Amino acid sequence: MKEYLDKISKFISSKVFMTFLTFFGIYLFSTGISYAVFSYLVAKPSVPTSTGTGIGATRSKISADLPKTEVCPINGGKFTKIEKGIWETRRPIAAMIENHQEARPQSGLSHADVIYEAVAEGGITRFLGIFYCGAASEDVKIAPVRSARIYFVNYAAEYGNFPIFMHVGGANDYSGFGDTVPSVRALEALETMGWRVPGGNDFDTTYDSGFPVFWRNYDRLDHPVATEHTMVASLDAAYAQAAKRGFGAKDEKGVSWDKNFVSWKFADDKPVGSADAKDISFNFWDSMSGYTVEWKYDSGKNGYLRFNDGKPNTDLENNQQLFAKNVAIVFAIETGPVDRNLHMFYTTIGAGKALVFQNGTVIKGTWEKDSRTARTVFFDGNGKEISFVRGTIWIEVVPALNKVTY
């Protein structure tokens, strides 16, 4: 027995055993760290409503009784001086938000100043929300954030110098296999524009952006959804990160975001006595009935309420039905699918026919956009630029041969 115990004692004190203990300890330590990191990443994060800049205290002073005297340069809407004081420290955010049937209702769209809608692929539409003035009064959560398409990049480029562009990847050919044709490579376009550099104004979760700006929330809706429908973002966190990157209202060289920004013309409400455009309806692809759009005129608000697939299109965060003072139809040439990834292409640089609905009536005219960074301008039948009614503007990019009824 003594001999057996001596052998055990010698083994415990040997280099072999000590080496084993060392590696076993390292294994336990690394396993613990991995578990902690994994638990953090999969847990539902708590995002603070204050970014540490005192913005929360400023917002607490916003009251419904305060006069709305300050004009938003994005859509002409009127806001309080406190809200203007907030947005003047920032630059616009352009964010990709999806419209897949499984992803509805979306979060945050009721706070957008301008929204663009076009088909991403397969007749499924996607939104580009422009957030600036309407997002000043609170920390807006947007969802589900999705990938970029070249025509949305072209619209985002209208919003001054280096707007904050938020998305989850996008059409590209980084693989080098030629699966995506050059004309629709959104990420490569962002590179040539100088947006897609480390610490740039391109906020992409597949590149250099993560928590607390973006995170996945699998419990956002009351039913399970695929992972691609779960990306959420905080606009306050994005603005805080943008400031750290040198993209506040001015860049590090002191250049203001709106140095080259061209604002639309705006006009006060002027509802007609008897509205002749009360119910607007259209579809993008006849084969995809779930994406039929209706806009119904509300005379009390002098604007249009949105319906998607026959149902009210609401914002999950506040249950408000999406509403627009102006609905502009851009008739664009549709091409595609243009590659084996089924990407589509819409001619949004150039000119074409347009319909602009406002004040309960319709203006038949045209649209023009001279270049990627040029403003899309709308003209009436006499060639005069159309003024938008102050408030939310929704731009629907519809295939040129489609019919819009009203």
> pLDDT, tens digit, for every residue of 115-129?
999 999 999 999 999
**What is the dihedral angle through the alpha carbons of 265, 268, 274, 279, rounded to the nearest 10 degrees?**
60
104's tokens: 């509805």
Q: How far is CA 392 from the centre of its chain?
A: 15
- Return the pLDDT at 16: 40
The verdict on pTM exceeding 0.75 is yes
- Return the pLDDT at 56: 85
- Return the pLDDT at 144: 98
Please list, in sequence order, all residues whose beta carbon lies within 8 angstroms of the beta carbon of residue 174, skipping any fewer than 6 positions away: 187
Separation between Cα atoms, residue 126 and residue 99, nearest integer Å? 5
Please list, in sequence order, all residues whose beta carbon lies within 8 angstroms of the beta carbon of residue 367, skipping any fewer than 6 positions away: 328, 330, 351, 352, 353, 354, 376, 377, 378, 379
Spatial CA neighbour of 54 closest among 10, 86, 15, 100 = 86
- Residues of the chain where predicted confidence (pLDDT) is lower than 70: 1-53
- Return the pLDDT at 7: 43
Assign 3-state DSSP to the chain and report helix, strand, coil percentages, each to 5: 20, 30, 50
Helix H or strand E encompassing 25: helix 15-42
- Return the pLDDT at 29: 36
- Return the pLDDT at 380: 98
- Return the pLDDT at 273: 84
- Return the pLDDT at 22: 40
Separation between Cα atoms, residue 248 and residue 88, nearest integer Å? 9
- Return the pLDDT at 9: 47
- Return the pLDDT at 42: 35
Spatial CA neighbour of 213 closest among 242, 185, 182, 186 = 242
Q: Which tens digits make up the pLDDT trace of 56-95?
A: 889 999 998 999 999 999 999 999 999 999 999 999 999 9
